[in-house]
């Protein structure tokens, strides 16, 4: 039986007494208390879907995902370093079934926020009471004419979404001659995973040091300084990777010549043997076409108590696609935390219960310096009622003192647990 | 249609939700509801006083840690009591 939303609301609002009871009584044997559709099964979306069902099994949750399996971006730099394979960071979606999450392998192409309906590439459509949009980022090639063609994009990879691109970039590194140059370009912040490009430089340097000792890593950073964990990364580049890694700040890319692997900068050009350009990013396409983008044509502003869009009612946005609050990185860990705040808020809204006014979030980003030694950055964030945003708690959070093996084991434990927290 | 209709237990539900939410900030590293799949210890079913003591020792630095000192300092003593009670009530 299909109940559309209007019919659903009609039934629910037959009387205030009915509505009130719906929030207080068990729903066993009754129609679902509400319907939630989640678009995107990454760190944000999968966590939201699971936690809504975990905390409110009477709410119907459909999760729409275009890929067959989850492939983690965090840890994927280890594939470039050679100590892990892409299989090591691939997890199936099967575990979500035991929570009663309905998984649909499909692509959301449009949202009608008035009819509260999601249209899918297959032609099907889904009705919702609350929609969660967790699309991650799309890379923006439009500023780089030399990367307009698919052919150019296959020569100059970004590998900023884990999967085929990661594997292809590793192949390029493997076939590169010893004595060659790997150059990586980092876009201006904000971008997905602030420490990620610097960790990547370390991973490639680690590979070169053992397999191709005459080769170099060149970091072309559009930012004026290292964006994340500066001291810890500099210690690696001036320590174990001295003579291998060269760091160049203020190196914004103007264009690329993919046929010669040339990075054209404001002052001069750089030729590489492997050129890895991480383009600027914005919220994934479904956020754009749904009109959720509110800042710089790139990011989606949200109410941090509910993760609901500040623009489109009934639609919640999570993860990297959001306009980040102060000192809040676009990370997988943070996306998981967005999802839990959102799950609790959606349940409260559907059940007409009060929404938690003071949500908290924790962030941690582990970065691998080599195959064993790891550094972290951590922060704790709480909702500030006067600023109406999440703010980092002063005195909490911080960095590792130095790279160490113990945190190497904790970082792998982190991956195991967060993947199970979202998918298991 | 009535919005925010009050159940008798609403204030209570609000508190319970906020505590559950705080505990969920630990789950990425300690496992869903504190049941860990990794080398970081689980917290489900651990004695409340033990969790409180460990968190206080992290906070003061009495117990050395890689990361817990930095995280424990983000929570008040009252919040730590609530989180510890929540985890101790979960099944292992």
Q: Walk me through the domains of chain A, giving residue ranges and CATH numbers.
A: 145-280 (3.50.50.60)
A156 CA to chain B: closest CA distance, Å?
34
Cis status of the peptide bond prior to A190, with omega within 30 of 0: yes
Cα separation of A202 and A233, whole Å?
8
Write the CA distances from A198 to A20, A223, A245, A399, integer angstroms.
53, 12, 10, 15
Q: What percent of chain A has pLDDT over 90?
A: 92
User: Tokens representing A240?
Assistant: 């174990």
pTM: 0.93
B57-61 mean pLDDT? 97
Contact A75, A137 (CB under 8 A): no
- Chain A neighbors of B21, CB-CB under 8 A: 340-341, 344, 356, 359-360
pLDDT at A351: 96
Of residues B3 and B59, more confidence is placed in: B59
B70-85 mean pLDDT? 98
Cα separation of A362 and A230, whole Å?
21
pLDDT at B14: 72
The answer to whether the CB atoms of B21 and A341 lie below 8 A apart is: yes
Cα separation of A70 and A44, whole Å?
12
A354 closest CB neighbour out of B10, B32, B74: B10
- Chain A neighbors of B36, CB-CB under 8 A: 413, 417
Q: Which residues on neighbouring strands pair with residue A381, listed in sequence order?
A: A361, A392
pLDDT at B91: 94
Q: In what order do the strands lie in the sheet with A117-120?
A: A108-112, A117-120, A125-127
The verdict on A344 touching B (C-beta cutoff 8 Å) is yes
pLDDT at A161: 97
pLDDT in tens, A306-342: 999 999 999 999 999 999 999 999 999 999 999 999 9
pLDDT at B15: 84
Cα separation of A133 and A44, whole Å?
9
The verdict on A378 touching B (C-beta cutoff 8 Å) is yes
B39 closest CB neighbour out of A397, A404, A413: A413
Enumerate domains of chain B plus CATH numbers.
2-88 (1.10.760.10)
pLDDT at A30: 67
Cα separation of A266 and A246, whole Å?
18
Residues 388-407 of chain A with CB under 8 A from chain B are 393, 395-398, 400, 404, 406-407
Q: Which residues of chain A have pLDDT under 50?
A: 1-27
pLDDT in tens, A101-143: 999 999 999 999 999 999 999 999 999 999 999 999 999 999 8
pLDDT at B11: 65
pLDDT grade for B16, boundaries at 50, 70 and 90: confident
The verdict on B44 touching A (C-beta cutoff 8 Å) is no
Residue A45 DSSP SS3: helix
pLDDT of B8 above 60:
no
The verdict on B60 touching A (C-beta cutoff 8 Å) is no
pLDDT at A66: 97
């Amino acid at each position: 039986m299909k109940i559309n939303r209007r019919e659903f609301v009609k039934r629910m609002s037959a009387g205030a007494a009915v509505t009130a009871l719906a929030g207080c009584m068990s729903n066993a044997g009754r129609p679902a208390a509400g319907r939630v559709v989640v678009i995107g099964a990454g760190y944000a979306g999968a966590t939201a879907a699971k936690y809504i069902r975990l905390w409110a099994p009477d709410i119907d949750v459909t999760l729409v995902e275009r890929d067959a399996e989850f492939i983690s971006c965090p840890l994927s730099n280890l594939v470039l370093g050679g100590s892990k394979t892409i299989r090591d960071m691939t997890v199936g979606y099967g575990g979500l079934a035991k929570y009663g999450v309905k998984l649909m392998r499909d692509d959301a192409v449009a949202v009608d926020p008035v009819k509260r309906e999601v249209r899918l590439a297959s032609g099907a459509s889904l009705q919702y009471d609350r929609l969660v949009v967790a699309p991650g980022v799309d890379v923006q090639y439009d500023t780089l004419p030399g990367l307009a063609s698919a052919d150019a994009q296959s020569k100059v990879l970004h590998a900023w979404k884990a999967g085929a691109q990661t594997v292809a970039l590793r192949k390029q590194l493997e076939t590169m001659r010893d004595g060659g140059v790997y150059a990586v370009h980092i876009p201006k912040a904000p971008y997905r995973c602030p420490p990620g490009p610097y960790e990547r430089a370390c991973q490639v340097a680690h590979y070169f040091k053992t397999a191709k000792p005459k080769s170099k890593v060149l970091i072309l950073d559009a930012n004026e300084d290292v964006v994340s964990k500066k001291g810890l990364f500099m210690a690696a580049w001036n320590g174990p990777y001295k003579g291998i890694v060269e760091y160049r700040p203020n190196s914004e890319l103007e264009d690329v010549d993919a046929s010669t692997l040339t990075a054209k900068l404001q002052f001069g050009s750089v030729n590489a043997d492997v050129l890895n350009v991480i383009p600027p990013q914005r919220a994934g396409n479904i956020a754009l076409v749904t009109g959720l983008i509110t800042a710089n044509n790139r990011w989606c502003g949200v109410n941090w108590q509910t993760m609901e869009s500040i623009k489109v009612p009934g639609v919640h946005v999570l993860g990297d696609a959001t306009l980040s609050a102060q000192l809040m990185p676009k990370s997988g860990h943070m996306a998981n935390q967005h999802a839990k705040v959102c799950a609790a808020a959606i349940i409260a809204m559907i059940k007409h219960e009060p929404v938690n006014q003071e949500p908290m979030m924790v962030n941690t980003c582990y970065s691998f310096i080599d195959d064993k030694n790891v550094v972290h950055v951590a922060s704790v964030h709480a909702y500030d009622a006067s600023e109406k945003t999440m703010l980092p708690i002063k005195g909490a959070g911080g960095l590792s003192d130095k790279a160490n093996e113990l945190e190497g084991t904790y970082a792998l434990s982190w991956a195991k647990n967060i993947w199970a927290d979202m998918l298991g | 249609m009535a919005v925010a209709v009050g159940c008798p237990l609403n204030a209570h539900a609000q508190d319970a939700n906020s505590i559950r939410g705080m505990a969920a900030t630990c789950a990425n590293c300690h496992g869903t509801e504190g049941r860990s799949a990794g080398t970081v210890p689980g917290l489900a079913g651990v004695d409340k006083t033990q969790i409180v003591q460990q968190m206080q020792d992290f906070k003061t630095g009495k117990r050395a840690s890689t990361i817990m000192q930095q995280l424990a300092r983000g929570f008040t003593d009252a919040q730590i009591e609530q989180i510890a009670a929540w985890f101790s009530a979960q099944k292992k």
